[in-house]
Every structure is written in structure tokens, then in C-alpha cells.
């Protein structure tokens, strides 16, 4: 039968069943493609315990005043030569907070950027900024 319900000589399956099978295969293909695209687009990882301590220490060292807390969020793995991380910082006394972007250098983690917006001006490669969760 075709879509109008007419017989289709020489075809073992009704037209409606063929359309359903093709639609299911297309959906499966789309889901696989989206899964692969998401996996390659998100290359960040959580910092190790040692990195977390070092990032926290560097973030707190770069801030003035008392009452600051830092929470390392992500380490970018977009490219091995780029060593960047992000951390959320907050002053619990004043309520002021923001996001910090740090870069690993030979002497340790260094603050590259601190703010609540304008992340694209941080001086890090755009791929790294996207990997850290900042849309540029």
C-alpha cells in the first residue's frame, strides 16, 4: 500500500512502515551526531585536589581585603598548551562576587581576569573561554 492506502505491487512492506523506519533511523543518526558534537565541544574537567588548592590559593592571594572565598570550577583541556581555569569568588562580608579566570605559568596560577561580564576581553583564546563556560 502507498500513503493513500493503495496496494503497491512488488513491495513487501506498506509505505507507512517504510516511512516510520526511515524516520526512526534519521532520529537515531541525529542523536548520535548531537552526542558527538557535545562531547567534543565540552573538553573541560574538574580540577584535581592539588589543582583546586593551588587555584584557590592564587585566587585569594590576588584579592584584597578579608572575607573572600574561592571555589575552582573548571580546568580547560581544549589544548594541552593552554592551561586555564575558572573560579567563582565571593566576599561573604560584602556580598560582592564574580568569576575569575586564571592561567597556569611556570610560577603557578596567576589571575588573568576578574569580573561579572566582559569575559571575552580576558586575554585567553576564545576556544578556552568557551570551554570554561564563558560564551564568546
> What pLDDT does residue 19 have?
63
> What pLDDT does residue 43 have?
79
Nearest partner of 85 among 70, 95, 96, judged by Cα: 70
Q: Residues 45-55: pLDDT tens digits?
A: 899 999 999 99
The domain segmentation of the chain, as residue ranges, is: 1-41, 49-131
> What pLDDT does residue 39 have?
45
User: What's the mean pLDDT when you consider all of the chain?
Assistant: 80
User: Where would I find the H helices in 1-136?
Assistant: 15-41, 49-61, 126-131
Residue 97 has pLDDT above 60, yes or no: yes
> What pLDDT does residue 1 have?
47
Higher pLDDT, 26 or 58: 58
- List C-alpha distances in Å: 50 to 9, 46, 53, 66, 91: 71, 11, 5, 24, 23
Q: Residues 102-123: pLDDT tens digits?
A: 999 888 999 988 888 888 888 8
Amino acid at each position: 500500500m502507498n500513503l493513500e492506502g493503495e496496494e503497491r505491487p512488488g513491495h513487501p512492506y506498506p509505505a507507512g512502515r517504510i516511512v516510520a523506519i526511515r524516520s526512526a533511523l534519521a532520529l537515531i543518526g541525529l542523536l548520535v551526531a548531537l552526542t558527538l558534537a557535545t562531547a567534543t565541544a565540552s573538553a573541560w574537567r574538574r580540577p584535581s585536589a592539588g589543582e583546586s588548592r593551588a587555584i584557590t590559593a592564587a585566587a585569594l592571594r590576588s584579592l584584597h581585603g578579608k572575607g573572600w572565598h574561592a571555589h575552582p570550577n573548571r580546568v580547560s583541556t581544549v589544548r594541552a598548551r593552554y592551561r586555564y581555569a575558572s573560579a567563582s569568588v565571593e566576599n561573604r562580608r560584602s556580598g560582592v562576587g564574580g568569576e575569575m579566570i586564571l592561567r597556569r605559568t611556570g610560577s603557578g596560577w596567576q589571575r588573568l581576569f576578574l569580573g561579572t561580564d566582559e569575559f571575552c576581553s580576558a586575554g585567553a583564546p576564545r576556544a578556552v573561554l568557551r570551554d570554561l563556560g564563558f560564551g564568546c
